[in-house]
Chain A
Amino acid sequence: MSRVSPLANTAVLGYFGNFEGKSINKIIKISEITNAKIYQIVQYKTSKLDISSLKIDSQILSASPGTVSANLKTRIQWNGPKVWTIVSSNISILDQINTSCSDEDFAITDLSHSRIILQIAGENAINIIKKGCPLDLNEFKINNCANSVYHGIAFSIDMLNDNPNTYNFMAYRSFADSFYHAITDASLEYGYKQE
């Protein structure tokens, strides 16, 4: 069963802002990632399990702050000490999580219904982030992630690509309209295409 997009009544497909006279490669592309499975995994404080050999969809749970383990379908973001967020289009991801992570060591929470993911692509994508987020992105590379705020809205950034710059922004579903408005408002200067 597919979920109703939090932007179903907000996002309108098309070109907006200062896009005229620009090639398609120069404008920002905004799209919503729908029907992704999102799970939070927390290793209990009392757990003694060594996670270095643990894999989900062939990806490790990274112990390095601000890093993402990723393949084409699954991205595992470091979200805090012993806290990870899994975003996946793999329909069997929950089975794989349950196989790898026992109830004795991990708390697994399905967040799929409660988040919005916007994908922003384009050479000016970093400038859109800078307009509302205090994070220093100069050292940000592919498969880096961070939690921060965008105009006061808590969100996470995950960098997928650097040619063109492509980021996934994840925020609470209840903030979807405000978050989308803040992002698109910042994108008008460069022109954007809602896909």
Chain B
Amino acid sequence: MKRVLVQKLGLADMLEIKCPYCGERSQNEFSYGGDATIKRPELNSEISDLEWDSFVYYRNNPRGKHLELWHHTSGCRRWFKVHRNTATHEIIKTLEIQEELHD
């Protein structure tokens, strides 16, 4: 029933995000920081304008699993990664910023 209401009325529950340092907290305390799979080009490397454009502007907008950066703005003020399903809002895993996701 709840799911039907969510779909019909566009209601959405707030996310509960597990900060790797503080534990489960409300989405209110966090800020979204974008796609976590983007890698900055190597410093002083020769890259084309298109490659720089891709790094700065171009982003995928997947429906499904997505690795994201989040910031615990009103908590420990640390950046970390969230592996999240953008269709269901399921949070599959959270990782410290230096950790890599292994499926």
Q: Which residues of A contact B (CB under 8 A)?
A: 65-66, 79-81, 83, 134-136, 146-149, 152, 154
Contacts and interface: CB of A to CB of B under 8 A. Distances in A.
11 contacts: A66-B22, A79-B76, A80-B21, A80-B77, A80-B78, A81-B78, A83-B76, A147-B74, A148-B75, A152-B28, A154-B73
B24 interface: yes
Interface of B: 14, 21-26, 28-29, 73-78
**5 closest A-B pairs by CB:** A134-B26, A80-B76, A154-B74, A149-B74, A147-B75
Contacts of B26: 134-135, 148
Nearest to A149: B74
Contacts, number: 43
A136 B24 contact: yes
Contacts of B75: 80, 146-148
B34 to A, nearest CB: 21
Interface of B is mostly: loop
A149 B24 CA distance: 14
A147 B23 CA distance: 12
Contacts of A66: 22-23
A31 B78 CA distance: 31
A173 B85 CA distance: 39
Given A81-B76, A147-B22, A148-B26, 16 more contacts: A65-B21, A65-B22, A66-B22, A66-B23, A80-B75, A80-B78, A134-B28, A134-B29, A135-B26, A136-B24, A146-B22, A148-B29, A149-B28, A149-B29, A154-B73, A154-B74
A134 B23 CA distance: 13
